[in-house]
Structure 1
């Protein structure tokens, strides 16, 4: 396969939280992990949006890198969900 980029995948995922406090805890929890994600093939950006929303922006050079970025978000979400269930 050629090393030239023939396409670029851009996507965003938005997570809606019950309140801004849970959104902020989630944001601060994932922030160190997000800073450590280094890849030449994919970029993952996270930002607070609206009152209770968290949005992830993904830009990937190939489908495998895109899937890896999606998996990072899913894994983080599952861990955070489990922690919330324990606290409640």
Structure 2
């Protein structure tokens, strides 16, 4: 019985000793964590800045296209008005 207690004690001591050792992977210091976090934040900021620039370029293109469309619509309306006026004049002269 005494031998079993010694064996159990030795076994538990080995378990505690292996668990108490420092882990094999290095523990990151707070400075290292903050540095990685800052790098990640900067990468995200640059990506967002690039995305914002692309959105602004696309917005400018859309605004230009809308302006051209409005100009074309104005030209079509004025041409249509001229054609209707000429048609009315032709109908009056033929009668």
Normalised by the shorter chain, which TM-score bucket? 0.3 to 0.5
Query: Relative contact order, CA 8 A, sep 6+: which one is greater?
Result: 1
Point out the structure with max Rg over C-alpha: 2
Give 1 or 2: higher helix fraction: 2
Structure with higher strand content = 1
| TM-score, reference length from structure 1 | 0.33
